[in-house]
Structure 1
Amino acid sequence: MIEKVIIKNYKSIDYLDLKLDDTINILVGNNEQGKSTILEAVNLALTSTLNKRNIHNELNPFLFNKTVVEDYIKKISIGKRVTPPSILIEIYFKEDNQNASLKGSNNSIKENACGISFSIEFDDDYTEEYQQYIEQSTNIRNIPIEYYKINSYSFASNPITSRSNPIKCVLIDPTEGKAWNGTDRYISSVIGDTLDPKQRATLNFNFRDIKENFSQIESISKINSTLSEKTGDISDKELAISLDISQKNGWESNLTAYLDDIPFDFIGKGEQNSVKLKLSLESNAEEAQVILIEEPENHLSHSNMQKLINQISEKCEGKQLIITTHSTYVLNKLGLDKVVLMNNGKHITLRDLNEDTFNYFKKLPGYDTLRLLLADKAILVEGPSDELIVQKAYLQKHNRLPIEDGIDIITVRGLSFKRFLEIADLLNKEVAVVTDNDGDIDKHIIEKYGDHYLKHPTIKICYSDDTRYATLEPQLVSVNELSILNDILGKDYTSEAELIKFMTSSGNKSECAMRIFDSNQKIIIPGYINDAIQ
């Protein structure tokens, strides 16, 4: 099993040192955080394939980290003679009899371990030609991939091929598959893998036989007779139509699967993805020790997701599973303690949190944890009323809701703010907290959050320093005219005290906030809420 993965300069990842659980690893994060890149890199190092083709056929400049490439081009442009950047992917295995031959210290951290080092790097054999290239070129815009080589060695310094590698891996992406002559290329190839050699031979033979007999059909013979009359007008040779029989295994591009007499491409997307994933597991999972799965939840309902996750768990028992997801259902089903949270080049697991916080999130359904992670930025509030007023404030200021700018407003109940902030702290997530002062700033703000969070570079604790107005509703009343709030709420109170009493009663808090949110009337927003939005 894989203990650790180190990735340098591959696509969106400039450097990653990721420890893995030997059973299940669930990679979670917003888009462009490198989840899929990790799966791709692991598969590349273990199989030397990318996009189902040998890496030699897929080598291109865009495999390299953009920042590294820009730095290289900048140095070249000012006359520095630097070696082009390289890509490194190292897979560290848990030592056992199967991979003992891979043990050595031929790795970037010089650790005596079992593993494989895969690199895409400049080939020194081209040094002279490369020097001429950079001296003669006046406008280099990318790295000269033509001068690169691919190396794959064990940590014991022995060359590694996909055949000699004792650790087998399969990458399953159910969303993959391009239309190819009206059929789904992915499903055809997976069906081919599922059949045994004798069945494939039978299928190829019968398919070719059908194609060869095509021209003997009476109506086709008449068409060919008509075409043969054109001999001399179009070509000196006789023109006819038939099916192509030149391909040895042509059925993959011409046959399609049917489900209940409906062509595969015409069934629902959820069923398509489910079938692809299950077929891939059937044909590949048995011999592989490492299973990589890309977002299995696509287009699936919770009931169908339940069946699929159960099947994944059964098929991958005793194997190492690395899976990417945006689904809280997948998180909860496979185990929150297996989650790797990713954000802006940083990653943590819930096991990195203190024990109390770890136990708290294990009991939590998982949705709010995922919302915090997937948002570009977040504002944490104490209840539904606060959430609505913050939404109103943002809408008034920007004429759009915060979620349209990647900002999620998350209601955090009780004393859980610091638990969420612990995750934000470890991931450098930008978060604002909108909280009541509850009439005592020292107790409810200073002592509760301390200097660490009150002076944090990416976390902002927003509260009012006026303890006469302890919670949200009194704060709203203090900055707005009674007539405006009365108009919005349909009341006619003549004093602040009466209005505050009405708005803070347990049955009215959410209703009042909803009326304010739905109203076209602009209100004055308390300063501490504006601070959070800012």
Structure 2
Amino acid sequence: MHIKKLIVYNFKSFYGKFEISLDEGINIIVGDNEQGKSTILEAINLCLTGFVGGRYFKAELSEHLFNVDIVNEYLSSLNTDNKKEPPSFLLELYLDDDSIPEFMGDDNSLKSGNVGLYYKVQFDERYKLEYENLVKHGEINSLPIEYYEVVRSSFARNYLTNRQVPLKSALIDSSEFRYRNGSDVYVNRIIKDLLDEKELVEISQAHRGMKDEFKNHDAIKRINEKISKSSRVTKKNVTISTDLNTQSAWESSLSAYVDSVPFSLIGKGEQCLIKTNLALSHSKTIESNLLLLEEPENHLSYSKLNVLLDGIIRGSKDRQVILCTHSSYVANKLSLKNLILLANKKTVRLSDLSEDTYDFFKKVAGYDTLRLVLCDKAILVEGDSDELIVQKAYSDVKGRLPINDSIDVISVGVSFLRWLEIAEKINKEVCVVTDSDGDLSALKKKYKKYLDDPKKYSNIKICFDEIIDKGSLIVSGKPFNYNTLEPKILKANGLQVMNQVFETNYQDEDDLRKFMKNSKTECALKIFNTSHKINIPEYILKAINDE
């Protein structure tokens, strides 16, 4: 069983309707800040558990859980003749399992037969008369939460408790840690779910035995006798003991330990690993088959992150995993095939990339692919020196660095076509700045579809110098390549200017060419930091001025 679709109405950052389709296995949600990634995880977990922020939702109900624009529209209308009804928010989960008829029905926003459940917070009509009196006297300045009710139901109109929900979730947020008596609430819950009914009874009985032993200890008897004699509060007997008034009292008093250290005191990275692996190793697979992860890369070293990701990959064979991340490494490692881009409250998938491209980024996971996904525009270059020169050129032309305009200059090695494949799918504006290496026919063949059909690929621009330069210089027994970035910059500026920039005194251009070839990054840094006027090759300016 897995969630195939989530529909949200007016919850937190989502105004009106938002819909996201989810796959079985791994789902990777990426997006800029404040796009609603965390809210998606929170909505799913709330619908399934009735908890928000680790607390029971009914105790946390606040107008801030409603979309702020919806609330403001409602409050503004109260001073007009066209008063709006108190707003509500709705969370719907559509499931793929047709074997649970008690969850199949048309009580959903699509009004069609589906399997699923919903969580709705709405105005309680039983308070309508009192509410109307308050509105009449102008006494409502905020959302009247006290008149609201929470409804959780299946699509078959069956009200639900947590026990009846067929899909159990574990939400693990390594950026937040909520402790209860020194132990993480999620760890306690996961451990509890690992146990069967007999084991839960055994723990409860053992815990009750601790109360009896505590109460009958000689020191406690003496202390209680003293308290009773000294008390002036009441004529009744006052004593101290342990609290076992509820069946689940042991949950709030037990603490998890790791190598004899309380869970709350171990490293946060280790906490994330333990919680994730506990959830993935859950014995009740049928009941606990959804793992929600918020930025799993937080607090983890490179090696520990790899351990975690390998565990997620193995565990996703039996469970659905939905995670949010800002890490390209996480996205690449778990496969871009599973990536969902969230932008402007809409979703875009990196579907239909070639299997070779998926596999490439999965195996060479260090490429910062999310920089391309999340920027407004990208300029792709081959290496570090190219990146520095393009940054310098942009700064000279625009008076600021490209990143200040949400334009990212990204070094991609020789894998331009793989990055362009991604850009095609998400319609990202991209400029490629590349060397011709003296072979225009090979370069034009490589980028043929983009060069031949610029209207179809209007978001992709290929920038290179169409002039082939030649010379007689031989380096290490091979003809020197006059058609790379460094000799093109020398050609645009001349020997005297470049000597001033590099603080060198070469008398011959070929000697300077060899110096620039052997010290690419050093020369690029000198150019980036120089106060001298530098002429930028035209093909680079073409990429910068292509708005």
Partner of 1:89: 91
Residue 122 of structure 1 aligns to which amino acid in structure 2? F
Q: Normalising to structure 1: TM-score of the pair?
A: 0.77
Residue 531 of structure 1 aligns to which amino acid in structure 2? I
Task: Find the partner of 1:360 among 357, 361, 367.
Answer: 357
Secondary structure of residue in 2 paired with 1:10: coil
Residue 85 of structure 2 aligns to which amino acid in structure 1? T
Quote the Cα distance in structure 1 between the aligned partners of 2:233 and 2:163. Answer: 50
Kept in 1, the 8 Å contact 2:282–2:288? The answer is no
1:118–1:183 CA distance, 2 compared to 1 (3 A)? closer
Residue 9 of structure 2 aligns to which amino acid in structure 1? K
Kept in 1, the 8 Å contact 2:516–2:523? The answer is no
Residue 486 of structure 1 aligns to which amino acid in structure 2? N
Task: Find the partner of 1:33 among 28, 32, 35.
Answer: 35
Gaps of 5+ in 2: 470-482
1:486–1:74 CA distance, 2 compared to 1 (3 A)? farther
CA distances 1:357-408 after superposition (whole Å, capped 9, x unpaired): x642432234332332355664432432221223445677999976688754
Matched, 1:201 2:204: yes
Partner of 2:454: 450
Kept in 2, the 8 Å contact 1:473–1:503? The answer is no
Partner of 1:435: 433
Matched, 1:51 2:49: no
CA distances 1:297-323 after superposition (whole Å, capped 9, x unpaired): 432334434444444455553333323
Task: Note the C-alpha offset of 1:38.
Answer: 1.7
What is the number of equivalent residue pairs in this alignment?
514
Quote the Cα distance in structure 2 between the aligned partners of 1:406 and 1:211. Answer: 64
Alignment of 1:47-446 (within 5 A): 47-76=49-78, 80-97=82-99, 99-137=100-138, 140=141, 142-165=142-165, 167-175=166-174, 176-195=176-195, 196-209=199-212, 211-212=214-215, 216=219, 244-245=242-243, 248=246, 252-282=251-281, 285-288=284-287, 290-294=289-293, 295-351=295-351, 353=352, 355-356=353-354, 359-364=356-361, 365-366=364-365, 367-375=367-375, 378-392=378-392, 408-414=408-414, 416=416, 420=419, 423-424=422-423, 427=426, 431=429, 433=431, 435-436=433-434
Quote the Cα distance in structure 1 between the aligned partners of 2:12 and 2:291. Answer: 18
CA distances 1:203-261 after superposition (whole Å, capped 9, x unpaired): 4124324543567079x96x997x999x59x9798999956546556555555333223
Task: Note the C-alpha offset of 1:271.
Answer: 1.7
Kept in 2, the 8 Å contact 1:27–1:341? The answer is yes
Secondary structure of residue in 2 paired with 1:13: coil
1:242–1:487 CA distance, 2 compared to 1 (3 A)? farther
Matched, 1:492 2:490: no
CA distances 1:399-429 after superposition (whole Å, capped 9, x unpaired): 9976688754312344736x54564565565
Structure 1 residues 116-125 or 244-253, which shifts more? 244-253
Quote the Cα distance in structure 2 between the aligned partners of 1:124 and 1:240. Answer: 46
Kept in 2, the 8 Å contact 1:464–1:528? The answer is no
1:143–1:213 CA distance, 2 compared to 1 (3 A)? same
Secondary structure of residue in 2 paired with 1:299: coil
1:200–1:280 CA distance, 2 compared to 1 (3 A)? farther
1:310–1:471 CA distance, 2 compared to 1 (3 A)? closer
Quote the Cα distance in structure 2 between the aligned partners of 1:427 and 1:143. Answer: 39
Kept in 1, the 8 Å contact 2:204–2:250? The answer is no
1:23–1:258 CA distance, 2 compared to 1 (3 A)? closer
Gaps of 5+ in 1: none
Task: Note the C-alpha offset of 1:173.
Answer: 1.0
Quote the Cα distance in structure 2 between the aligned partners of 1:289 and 1:205. Answer: 29
Residue 373 of structure 2 aligns to which amino acid in structure 1? L
Quote the Cα distance in structure 2 between the aligned partners of 1:71 and 1:428. Answer: 34
Q: Normalising to structure 2: TM-score of the pair?
A: 0.76
Secondary structure of residue in 1 paired with 2:304: helix
Quote the Cα distance in structure 2 between the aligned partners of 1:509 and 1:105. Answer: 66
Kept in 1, the 8 Å contact 2:61–2:145? The answer is yes
Over the aligned positions, Cα root-mean-square deviation in angstroms equals 4.5
Quote the Cα distance in structure 2 between the aligned partners of 1:525 and 1:241. Answer: 87
Residue 208 of structure 2 aligns to which amino acid in structure 1? F
1:530–1:491 CA distance, 2 compared to 1 (3 A)? farther
Partner of 1:17: 19
Kept in 1, the 8 Å contact 2:102–2:158? The answer is no
Structure 1 residues 485-494 or 32-41, which shifts more? 485-494
CA distances 1:406-453 after superposition (whole Å, capped 9, x unpaired): 754312344736x54564565565x55252585989967982671355
Residue 23 of structure 2 aligns to which amino acid in structure 1? D
1:210–1:316 CA distance, 2 compared to 1 (3 A)? farther
Residue 433 of structure 2 aligns to which amino acid in structure 1? T
Identity among equivalent pairs (%): 36
Quote the Cα distance in structure 1 between the aligned partners of 2:421 and 2:322. Answer: 25
